[in-house]
Amino acid sequence: MVDVPLGSTGVVAAPDVEDVELYHPHSWVTKYVFSQDAKIIAIQYAFVALSVGLVALVLSWLMRLQLGFPGVFTFIDANAYYQFITMHGMMMVVYVLTALFLGGFGNYLIPLMIGARDMVFPYVNMLSFWIYLLAVLILVASFFAPGGPTGAGWTLYPPQAITSGTPGGQDWGIIMMLVSLMVFIIGFTMGGLNYVVTVLQARARGMTLMRMPLTVWGIFTASFMALLAFPALFVGAVMMLFDRALGTSFFMPAIVEMGQPLDRNGGSPLLFQHLFWFFGHPEVYIVALPAFGIVSDLISTHARRNIFGYRMMVWALLAIGALSFVVWAHHMYVSGMNPYFGFFFATTTLIIAIPTAIKVYNWILTLWRGDIHLTIPMLFALAFIVTFVNGGLTGLFLGNVVVDVPLSDTMFVVAHFHMVMGVAPILVIFGAIYHWYPKVTGRMLNDGLGKLHFWVTFLGAYAIFFPMHYLGLMGIPRRYHDIADMAFVPPSAHTLNAFITIMALIVGAIQLVFVFNLFWSLRHGREAGGNPWRATTLEWQTPETPPPHGNWGRHLPVVYRWAYDYSVPGADQDFIAQNQPWPTRTSGAGHG
């Protein structure tokens, strides 16, 4: 890797660009704790989200121990098992993936990649993080509340979520979960406003929308979707909180609990499902779109090739974002609905496969005849494509009503969504951390440890989730604490379950290597220089690494080209930075 001498890229004085008024931190506390600098906020978000991720990982171990070796770990009773799966799911989906992609990568990359000094509302941005932290604390506190956390499943379906048979249903668990989610949404809205408005308003001179890196496009579209979709969860949470705390009947039908009729009637559990999935399905893409964007940039940079079909990539992101709002009921095929609705939602679900497939083809065509460097970010990006295609294809199965009905509530579904929105985005997060860590810290992550982390994680995750499809096809149900006594379950299924558990333990343990690498490389990593990957995008062209407060020194960058000028014929280097005015070409040969 060759360092690019600073100053070789032309940071042109741009006196006519209105500069933003920067806040200036005066003390250690305002600089590193209550910081309004998006980069610090990003690190805070990432640190908290990764910590929550480790907790959720341990929870997955515990539930896998029960499934793999039923009866051995007696402290995992049915209640504890349900609490583990619920908290694992909710933590991973909302508090890890959403927070990490938007709060972490969004905060770090948006201002740097579009050539801004900071977010447009830095104070609100800071509040966003602290409110997120509060939400996390409320969630974690529910472990210590009377009755423990809720065990309602991450979908929190009523009526069971708030009845006494479910852990936390009549204790503190469900209340703390709902309050935590509401707090999270308020915090996210503050952050989301920042991400969207910064992209709209704070782009550097010359940075048209169509010159933005796809990472920014992905985060931008996902933020917008999240702003519109999270209110659905908020509304559902408010109504369920009323049902639980004040005794209303929004979702509670007439119901008999432990032989006693409850003082509820007329409510509709289906109503909650509609609200939940109106949030829940876009949520899949809120996680996926930033991953799509990031992976496009990783592939282009590490294959030294311009992204294939940039326009199509942007259009596909927008199309997926829009379509994801009209597919929610495909999560409810077995909940009972008009067959015409089922047909409608199956159709829209399958249509989403088209823009998604376009993206996959474009990634592959970007790799085609590229100068592929098997760096660790690239390995993770390639692994993402494989995993995502795998998970996406089973999505086509489940999107069809007739296939979904028998597979619903089996391990097949668990395998599908872990592949497509669990493992795939996590692989991108790892790739992205290996890719941008040098910019954040000025040092490279250790390569050997990285390779070990990659191979064990990728192969291990496959070993966990690929066999799970077979369990599902056999009819092994999900959400069951103990399947030992089921007559139709063959011994091979138990062996497979034990195997999956062992793999889960290994994959979980190897994450400690990654955590070690993160801390070890802070001091001992190789010095990275400003642009170790020889990348074109603006964040690699900052005058200093790590970028100081205000990012750009005295002058904001000016953008002269798109983000993917790799291996341009006739250029003296195999990349041309976005803020580099020369060389100018008159033809677009070799591009497209």
Partner 1 sequence: MGSILFFLSILAILATWWLSRQGLASKPWLEQGETAVLPGLPVQSTHPATIGLRVLLAVIGSFFALFISAYVMRMQLPDWRTLPLPPILWLNTAMLALSSIALHGATVAVRRGERTELKASLIAAGIAALAFLSGQLVAWQQLVGEGYRLTANPANDFFYILTGAHGLHLLGGLVALARTTEKVWRVPATEQLLLPVELCATYWHFLLILWLVLLSIWTGWAGEFVDICRQLLT
- Alpha helices for 335-420 (secondary structure H): 339-367, 376-399, 401-407, 411-418
Choice between 307 and 426, CB closer to partner 1: 307
Q: How many residues in the shown chain lie near partner 1 by CB under 8 A? A: 61
186 C-beta neighbours (distance < 10 Å), count? 17
Query: Mapped to the 3 state alphabet, what secondary structure does 259-288 carry?
Result: CEECCCCCCCHHHHHHHHHHHHHHHHHHHH
Burial class (CB in 10 A: 0-12, 13-18, 19+), 453: buried
Give the contacts of 63 (CB within 8 A, at least 6 positions apart): 76, 81, 84, 85, 88
Q: Are 230 and 279 in contact (CB under 8 A)?
A: yes
| Rg of the chain, C-alpha, whole Å | 24
Q: Which stretch binds partner 1 (CB under 8 A): 96-104, 169-177, 243-251, 462-470?
A: 243-251
Residue of 266, 336, 339, 448 interacting with partner 1 (CB under 8 A): 266
Asked if residue 278 binds partner 1 (CB under 8 A), the reply is yes
Residue of 271, 360, 403, 571 interacting with partner 1 (CB under 8 A): 271
Q: Are 139 and 177 in contact (CB under 8 A)?
A: yes
Asked if residue 575 binds partner 1 (CB under 8 A), the reply is no
Residue of 31, 205, 373, 526 interacting with partner 1 (CB under 8 A): 205
Asked if residue 586 binds partner 1 (CB under 8 A), the reply is yes
For the record, the structure tokens of 480 come out as 């069951």
Q: How many CA atoms lie within 13 A of 150 on its CB side?
A: 30
Q: Are 417 and 407 in contact (CB under 8 A)?
A: no
Q: Which stretch binds partner 1 (CB under 8 A): 46-54, 236-244, 372-380, 542-550?
A: 236-244
Asked if residue 220 binds partner 1 (CB under 8 A), the reply is no
Least spacing, CB of residue 196 vs partner 1, in Å? 5
Residue of 6, 235, 262, 396 interacting with partner 1 (CB under 8 A): 235
Asked if residue 492 binds partner 1 (CB under 8 A), the reply is no
Asked if residue 249 binds partner 1 (CB under 8 A), the reply is yes
Show the binding pattern over residues 312-351: x = contacts partner 1 (CB under 8 A), - = does not. --xx--x---x--xx-------------------------
Choice between 215 and 511, CB closer to partner 1: 215
Asked if residue 564 binds partner 1 (CB under 8 A), the reply is yes
375 C-beta neighbours (distance < 10 Å), count? 21
Q: Are 419 and 444 in contact (CB under 8 A)?
A: no
Strand segments, DSSP code E, in 393-533 are none
Could you tell me which residues are beta bridge partners of residue 575? 566
Residue 592 to residue 579: CA distance in whole angstroms: 20
Could you tell me which residues are beta bridge partners of residue 205? 558
Asked if residue 22 binds partner 1 (CB under 8 A), the reply is no
Choice between 236 and 392, CB closer to partner 1: 236
Asked if residue 222 binds partner 1 (CB under 8 A), the reply is no
Least spacing, CB of residue 33 vs partner 1, in Å? 25
Interacting positions 542-561 with partner 1 (CB under 8 A):
558, 560-561
Least spacing, CB of residue 77 vs partner 1, in Å? 34
Q: Are 590 and 571 in contact (CB under 8 A)?
A: no
Task: List interacting residues with partner 1 (CB under 8 A).
Answer: 120-121, 189, 192-193, 196-198, 200-202, 205-206, 208-211, 227-228, 231-232, 234-235, 238-239, 242, 246-250, 265-268, 271, 274-275, 278, 306, 310-311, 314-315, 318, 322, 325-326, 558, 560-562, 564-565, 581, 584-586, 588, 591-592
